[in-house]
Amino acid sequence: MKLNNKWLVAACFGIMAGISTSSCVDQIKFGNAFLEKAPGGTATKDTVFNSAVYVRQFLNTCYSRQYYGLPYNTDSNGDIPDSASPYLGKVDALSDCWQLHYSGATLYFSYYTGTHTADYGTRGDVFGYTREQVWQVVRWCWMLIENIDKVPDMDDSEKQYIVAQAKCLIAARYFDAFRHYGGLPLVTQTYTGTESSYSFPRATVEETVNFMIKLLDEAIDSGALFWAYDGTQNNGSYSNPVSDTGRWTVAGAMALKCKIWQFAASPLFNDHQGFAGGSSEAEQKHLVWYGGYKQELWDNCLKACEEFFTALQSNGYYELNQSKDDTPEQYRQAFRMAYIKQGSKEVLHSVRVTTTDAYNSSTYMWHSWSDYGRNSYTPTQEYVEMFPWSDGTPFNWEETEGEGKLDEMFVKGDVVEGQQLLQNLVLTRDPRLYETVRVNGLPKMLGWDSGVMSGMPYELWVGGYDAGMGAKNEDGKYATGYDNMKYYIGTEYQRQYCQWVSLRLSDLYLTYAEALLQSKNDYQGCINLIDEIRARVGMKGLVECNPDKNLLSDKNALLEELLRERACELGMEDSRYFDLVRYKRADRFELPLHGILIYRLDEEGNRVTTKWYEGDYGKGAMQPIHFDYEKFQLKNIERKWWTHGFDTKWYLSPFPLSEINKGYGLIQNPGW
């Protein structure tokens, strides 16, 4: 296909509006305005590539436009990705684990209603094809690669280091888009803007995967990347754990290979029939699947995982964050610090976009706007019930209700005369639940350094201090009777810098487990890796806790447990949504979701809708411990998928109609 002055090429030229970024120096404009004086000219480019300082800052600009999974800002000019805006919404809220109750978000008024179309613009799609800075970053990185040899005051080892990072950035941005669109046009160079025509056909899924893998292999094999930023030496340079963490490493690149193969090998793209039936043009041309089932894709995933863990054993540094003591509090702390703390040895690659304190910011930050409702991602009852009891045995609502123990499904403790708070408090469920979901009765504080619980308990009953009438009215951040805890935490996260963890070690354990199961039918090997993740939070093994599920012989049952473990371990990290997509789980997308109404009971067993704190606490009343519970189906808003079924077109995003109509051969995804 031939293309003349179309959008994709415009992005590859970098001739769009300028970007203001903190990494610019001396008024040198980077990014989209890099060639604004004369497309195809050399003045601006020559200035930048005549200075090592400018080139390093240019690289920083590329890093600043990576995918960041927490809405933190809003912009209509395309200078930052649309996914950064709370007015779009996180993909987690399209899964069965979360519901977004902010009506001003695209997910709410376009996806939940089923009215989304290919005719979209700003913040119109969960990952807008022209709105996520993918093509800008790709173009900038190729510019770095093509011009790095011109820099006079930079040694060869640093040039190789920058090239390797640029290749990782290209691969990562391609993978971001690949998960939403399938096969993509492959951009392999920059353009001057003076060429007479350009060929940009949409590549097949196989070609796109091979393109990403090749870039990562070249970066890994270059020897220019550090394994980790741990102060060690590489090619005469020392890594700086403070200033360098967040840049691509060998470990990060190897981990990304595992994730690419995992997605490519999954049934969405790798099955005996295309997800839309096989007759669409995109399916016929293998743009959205491999054209059949290929076992070797899972073998490739397994090989990538084996290579990663072999390198980890050899090079060390990265490790699962373990608890200091065998208590629920310390298990929570270990799980929390594994992803939230900058410098965690469990983090393989992270993205940072700001150094401001979100709690004290007037901008559209993740934390600030969670309090105001824009980022109110409310956990569903279905999600809460995925988390087992603290020993690892499955939670079952009906059994717990029949035993009269629903009051103990989150916490229990001793009533001690003279004490208003429960004493000897016990967390009765999987410690990860309390780090992912705010539940009734949980103390509000977990010390940042100590991991000690303290403070008043969350009051999530109808009329309670925290939830108020949120669940009763199904609105606000307690609309389901729960609130999000993941990446939000609470007041102890104030004055701590936030990061988005795009790759972490626990995910690689579970990816490896999945590859063993799918490639070799290695049930025991899969279970062993899952059990290592469970043991970190004090739970017993999967088989011991599920004796009735035949997990050593029933592949479907084990896969279901693996996907549940991924949901519990990787909540609010985009994982659940993409797991449901890549396994084509229409049954979960169609499942009507629920919240919970909790009613406080007085001494006579009557329901009361009064606060405790700022209520009868001041009169010496004991912490409420007896409640009634009612599940309710979510109605504000009902997803169309629940009432009309799930159309397979939703597995992938539509290319914008404006791009399709330009006639350069961009073939639409099935159903759109």
Q: Is residue 350 part of a domain?
A: no
pLDDT for residue 368? 65
Please write the tens of the pLDDT for every residue from 459-489: 999 999 999 999 999 999 999 999 999 998 8
C-alpha 160/C-alpha 149 separation (Å) is 9
C-alpha 219/C-alpha 229 separation (Å) is 16
Which percentage of the chain shows pLDDT scores above 70? 89
Output the domain CATH number for residue 7.
Answer: 1.25.40.390
What's the total number of domains in the chain?
1
What is the pTM for the complete model shown? 0.93
624 band by pLDDT with thresholds 50, 70 and 90? very high
564 CB-contact burial (10 Å; exposed 0-12 / middle 13-18 / buried 19+) = middle
Please write the tens of the pLDDT for every residue from 384-434: 999 999 999 999 999 999 999 999 999 999 999 999 999 999 999 999 999
pLDDT for residue 349? 97
Which token pair is 278?
Answer: 């096989």
Domain with 168, as residue range(s), is 2-317+653-660
pLDDT for residue 46? 87
Q: What is the 3-state secondary structure (H, E, C) of 599-657?
A: EEECCCCCEECCCCCCCHHHHCCCCCCCEEEEEEECCCCCCHHHHHCCCHHHHCCCCCH
Name residues whose C-beta falls within 8 Å of residue 470's C-beta, 6 or more positions apart in sequence. Answer: 476, 477, 478, 479, 481
Phi, psi at residue 319, to the nearest 5°?
-160, 155
Chain mean pLDDT for the chain:
90
Lowest mean pLDDT among 255-264, 339-348, 388-397, 553-562: 339-348
Q: Is residue 152 part of a domain?
A: yes
pLDDT for residue 239? 73
pLDDT for residue 204? 98
Q: Is residue 413 part of a domain?
A: no
What number of other Cβ atoms are within 10 A of residue 446's Cβ? 23
Q: Is residue 372 part of a domain?
A: no
C-alpha 72/C-alpha 84 separation (Å) is 5
Handedness of CA 462, 466, 469, 473 (dihedral sign): negative
Q: Is residue 414 part of a domain?
A: no
Give yes or no for a contact between 166 and 253, defined as CB atoms under 8 angstroms apart: no
Handedness of CA 537, 541, 542, 546 (dihedral sign): negative
Which token pair is 47?
Answer: 């200035």
SS3 287: coil
Q: Is residue 482 part of a domain?
A: no
Residues 234-261 as b/e (b if ≥16 CB within 10 A, e otherwise) read eeeeebeeeebbbbbbbbbbbbbbbbbb
C-alpha 253/C-alpha 39 separation (Å) is 33
Q: Is residue 508 part of a domain?
A: no
SS3 445: strand
pLDDT for residue 3? 34
Which token pair is 504?
Answer: 């972490």
Give yes or no for a contact between 318 and 221, defined as CB atoms under 8 angstroms apart: no
Which has the closest alpha carbon to 424: 489, 333, 327? Answer: 327
Average pLDDT over residues 50-60: 95
Q: Is residue 431 part of a domain?
A: no
pLDDT for residue 231? 82
